[in-house]
Chain A
Amino acid sequence: MGALLLAQEGAPDFPILTALVLVPAVGAVAVALIPRARAELHRGVALLFSAAAGALAIYVLAAFDKNDAGMQFETNRSWIGDFGISWHLGVDGISLFLVVLTAVLFPLALLGSTPSHDAKPYYAWLLLLEAGCLGVFVALDLFLFFVMFEIVLVPMYFLIGGWGYARRVYAAIKFFLFTMFGSALMLVGIVALAYLHRDGVEDQNRAVATELLAEQEDPQAAPPAVQAQIAELQADVPLSFDLVEIAEARTVTDDSSGANPFDWTAARWIFLAFALAFAVKVPLFPLHTWLPDAHTEAPTAGSVILAGVLLKLGTYGLLRFGLYLFPDAASFFAPAFVTLGVIGIVYGAIVATMQRDLKRLVAYSSVAHLGFIVLGIFAITTQGLQGGLLQNVNHGLSTGALFLLVGMISDRRHTREISALKGLQKAAPIFAAVFTVVMMSSIGLPGLNGFVGEFLVLIGSFLTRRWWAVVAATGVILAALYLLWAYQRVFHGEPDDDNRHFPEMNWREGLVLAPLLGLIVFLGIYPKPVLERMQPSVDRLIEHVEANSDYTEPPVATEGPAVSAGEEARDEEAEG
């Protein structure tokens, strides 16, 4: 709300990202102000505001310049001047599709499910959640990012705890405390980084000033311009929390030899403080235990948003605030992250196979999918990063759709036990067909979006982490195992008395799932529009990492644009 005033102070062009963050926030206030008696309005107003945010995001997508690797649609206004904290927003190829995914998934999640009671606070919390998520993806100020990252917890806590299933209170508290625990140290890290950056800039400036002084024969007689320059360089530097400024200044670098593991310089410690927050959010094995509970107990819309958007806050954070902010520390710790990612892939898949609750199965499949994304990111190759980013979107679409479908089953049958469901395919063939497509996308069947992402991740990681990629590839097989087996038990066979009258998908549900199915197929066949918008920013990020660490990307990864890899994938599936 403070930003609204700031944004209006005569910006030359329309601050579209500010509007994108504020539209849902204003919507939340609007819903909260509508009296309880006018219940019919709550849903409509909520849909209206989330659809407006969706429209703004699609406008951003359309107006996005695909050849520009830097930040676009930037807004930068001072918020708390004393600490150099600013309302700095912007998107690039890395965050663009996460913004669009968020803004598209929210209206669909709203449309796809209705709360069991108390509609008014439910919609208000959901809209507030949307504002927070969008804020995370567009924030370019460390402090602003943290604020948005934290505020997301509150609406999600109330959504899980207020409208969830049987063990909702336990799941809500666990979710809140786990995530808050992760990000608690990040705040200390952010503050420490800002001070280190300030000291670093001061040292650099003073070094330059000393050189300038040495050049002068008589410092007193130096021309006034030079004297002014020296005075300026010797002045105190204000604090800044600006992400781009700190990342590009390279003041906080890591020059420890690594001979003594306890002799890390500050950058590595700070990186770990950041990484812990993101690892909990992703979640990375072994910090994942909050996820099955939260996903299973949350109401349908909550699960869709949790899986589709909230987990991406973690992977996005690892990219933007891990790889970009701490190139050297990130490449130093990359082996640990790819290892944990691969463990997550295999572990998540095996545990998913054992589940008796359909929703819990989907929840564990997220652990496996997110493992792929982490593997792609920390492979630090063009293909790996692109694959990871694409998988972010893919997972949001396919798992979001899966949670919607499971929610529909749960609404119809009031159970999610796999053993209680049988032969749904006979009773509801269209429902089964939609489920099949979404499931195949989650498995990674060629022709659907999941394949492109996983394939790119595997190519990318094979270049730098060969054996990890080999193990990760088994995850694809395991995914087929747990999903197909579940499908078999739920949809195949003769329906018993309980399942014989399973209602077919209605038009409203179809309307919600149609855009998701469309995107699943479109991205599977023609991922180029997405990949070519990511490519400049990804290349730039890798150059940034190479320039700031002793890491170099293997040459084969850079030969030929990664887009061709996607095309190869398409060719292969055409042959197969």
Chain B
Amino acid sequence: MIGILGSLGQPLPVDPVPIDRPGVDWGAVAPMLVLVGGALVLMLVSSFVRSRRSTVGYTIFTCLVALGAIGAAIPLWLEVNDDDRGPFSTLAGSVGVDGFSTFVTFLIGAAVVLAALFIDDYLRREHLEGVEAYVLLLLSATGGVIMAHANDLIVLFLGLEVLSMAVYVLAAMHRRRVTSQEAGLKYFVLGAFSSAFFLYGIAMIYGGTGTTNLVTILETFSTSALTDDGLILAGLALLLVGLGFKVAAVPFHFWTPDVYQGSPSPMVAWMASGVKVAGFAGLMRVFDLAFIAYAVDWQPLIYAVAVATMLVGAVLAVVQTDVKRMMAYSSISHAGFVLVGVQAATDQGVEAALFYLATYVFLVAGTFGIITLVGRRGDSHHSLDDYRGLARSRPVLALTLALFLFAQAGVPFTSGFFAKFYVINAAVDAGSTWLAAVAMLSAVIAAFIYLRIAVSMYMADPAPEAAGGGDVAGAPRIAVPAGATIALTLCVIVTIGAGLWPGSIADLARDAVPVLATFR
């Protein structure tokens, strides 16, 4: 908005006082503009289209917009990694472009593509045809990309809200299901609450430092120290509450199982991948970058949160019988792993966290994609029994899910193994060996649920009593539409590819360590 206003016209010749207008680098904000523009165009076009049927066109358009955002980010990536140019900021220093922000843009773009491909068939299956889901998806992606670029706490808050508002509605997308409505409402109420915490945290930081700009904060603390920093510490704690809610860290996780269970499954694929990436992007920009001088103070806090997140997520996942709830708790546990990387407060830690997120996007999106398919019409077949005999009726689908599950358990030659390895590496190098040990133990606990699902698929015969009348005769019939096939193929390629040649993603992640650049 600032950019648009600033560029609107020439200053009036009669005005003696020149207005100091911020410079706008349109190329630098192109990824956000592409996403938000795509959303608006989609909304506009759909209002002229009479039929509500043609969702395939919307899907393709959404994917193209997401790819366009990735395409717009590629020149930026090349630019910031060019030794002569380097990272920079624009819009009066409130938007920063560095390897970190572009890398996260790539991830969010990929998550949008995956989610759109899974949503496509879902909407037709549930008779929910319409353009709303795609528009909201693109808008929330815009919010995520803004968070990744934020060089100012206010911009970060704006991004967070744009992201959240759209996701609240996505959660309530299934109009005829009470659980979906309930999930949306729950998410909204708790999310609004956490946003308030976040905003209060910003106010305290402003009170303590006199600025909301992350660059200024970093520069202030690199040259001077405050004698009385109570306000800043309280502010940091409140920011952690707000961001911890978005990434579903314990003890701010209570919404996750209910919302994941109630929301439409392909929307959960987006929540667990894109939204989580955006949340961690904000977290790392604030803690690992702007407030790195306060690492000694916030590290114990994140240490404790990471331990609680990994253990609570893993232990509570074990006692679930609903696969969506299981995976919700498992995603909590994975958030704990990313926090282990964040906690290291080193470049290596951020790299590890980014690698973890990059691989996890594909793992979790693929998993919830398959959950969408197995859920069948009504999106209600989510108990463990519904997976019985899947290996017999749909061997390739079962093998794919098994691959994602074993990768999440951290089995070698999958992306998940290296994700854990890099995080452990960063933690040990930063001296948190015991945190690494806790992480590995929680991985063992969490492995139990992945094994349980694999047992259902491979080692149990289809349950005649559980799956309902139509399934007695044989294995349940599950359709795998084309969109989902493309998305799952992508996920499998990344999961195995990163498991054999982790350097391909790790090299990118290394260039993506965030840098706060001043106004160019």
Contacts and interface: CB of A to CB of B under 8 A. Distances in A.
B444 A180 contact: yes
Contacts of B459: 161-162, 168-169, 172
Given A151-B411, A154-B411, 8 more contacts: A81-B503, A153-B411, A172-B451, A172-B455, A173-B448, A173-B451, A177-B451, A181-B441
Interface in B306-332: none
Interface string B421-461: 10011001100010011001101100110011011001110
A58 to B, nearest CB: 28
A223 B447 CA distance: 59
Contact of B451 (A2, A176, A184, A188): A176
A80 B502 contact: yes
Interface in B482-507: 500-503, 506
Nearest to B497: A2
Contacts of A273: 437
Q: Looking at A83, A146, A150, A188, which has the most chain B CB atoms within 10 Å of its CB?
A: A188
Contact of B428 (A153, A184, A191): A191
Given A2-B500, A80-B502, A157 B428 contact: no
Say which size band chain A's interface belongs to.
20 to 34
A195 B411 contact: no
A198 B328 CA distance: 39
A77 to B, nearest CB: 14
Nearest to B439: A188
B367 to A, nearest CB: 17
A162 B413 contact: no
B458 A188 contact: no
B406 interface: yes
A184 B444 contact: yes
Interface string A181-211: 1001101100110010000000000000000
Given A162-B459, A177-B447, A180-B447, A191 B411 contact: no
Interface string A129-171: 0000000000000010011101101100110011000001100
A2 B413 CA distance: 10
20 contacts: A80-B503, A82-B506, A83-B425, A150-B411, A150-B412, A153-B411, A154-B411, A161-B458, A162-B459, A173-B448, A173-B451, A177-B444, A180-B443, A184-B441, A184-B444, A185-B441, A188-B433, A188-B440, A191-B425, A195-B429
A158 B402 CA distance: 11
Interface of B: 406, 409, 411-413, 417, 420-421, 424-425, 428-429, 433, 436-437, 440-441, 443-444, 447-448, 451-452, 454-455, 458-460, 500-503, 506
B461 to A, nearest CB: 11
Given A168-B459, A172-B455, A188 B424 contact: yes
Nearest to B458: A162
A1 interface: yes
A161 B459 CA distance: 6
A114 to B, nearest CB: 19
Contacts of B444: 177, 180-181, 184
Tell me whether chain A's interface is mostly helix, strand or loop, or mixed: helix
Q: Looking at B417, B436, B440, B502, which has the most chain A CB atoms within 10 Å of its CB?
A: B440
Nearest to A270: B433
Contacts of A146: 412
B455 A173 contact: yes
A176 B454 CA distance: 12
A409 B329 CA distance: 46
Contact of B406 (A154, A177, A185): A154
A158 B451 contact: no
Contacts of A82: 503, 506
A185 B428 contact: no
Contact of B440 (A148, A158, A187): A187
Contacts of B458: 158, 161-162
B447 A176 contact: yes
A150 B407 CA distance: 12
A277 to B, nearest CB: 11
A188 B440 CA distance: 8
Contacts of A181: 441, 444
Contact of A184 (B413, B421, B440, B460): B440
A82 B433 CA distance: 21
A188 B428 contact: yes
A161 B424 contact: no
A458 to B, nearest CB: 37
5 cross-chain pairs, A with B, having the tightest CB-CB distances, nearest first: A184-B440, A147-B412, A2-B500, A161-B459, A188-B436
Contacts of B436: 188, 191-192
B460 to A, nearest CB: 8
Nearest to B418: A80
Contact of A1 (B452, B500, B502): B500
A2 B414 CA distance: 12
A162 B457 CA distance: 10
Contacts of B420: 187
Contacts of B448: 173, 177
B512 to A, nearest CB: 15
A169 B448 CA distance: 12
A188 B452 CA distance: 26
A192 B440 CA distance: 13
Interface in A10-66: none
B76 to A, nearest CB: 25
Contacts of B441: 181, 184-185
Contacts of A191: 421, 424-425, 428, 436
Contacts of B409: 180
A147 B412 CA distance: 5
A509 B437 CA distance: 47
Q: Looking at A2, A191, A273, which has the most chain B CB atoms within 10 Å of its CB?
A: A191
A169 B388 CA distance: 13
B428 to A, nearest CB: 5
B421 A157 contact: no
A501 B485 CA distance: 55
A188 to B, nearest CB: 5
A151 B412 CA distance: 6
A169 B460 CA distance: 9
A287 B416 CA distance: 28
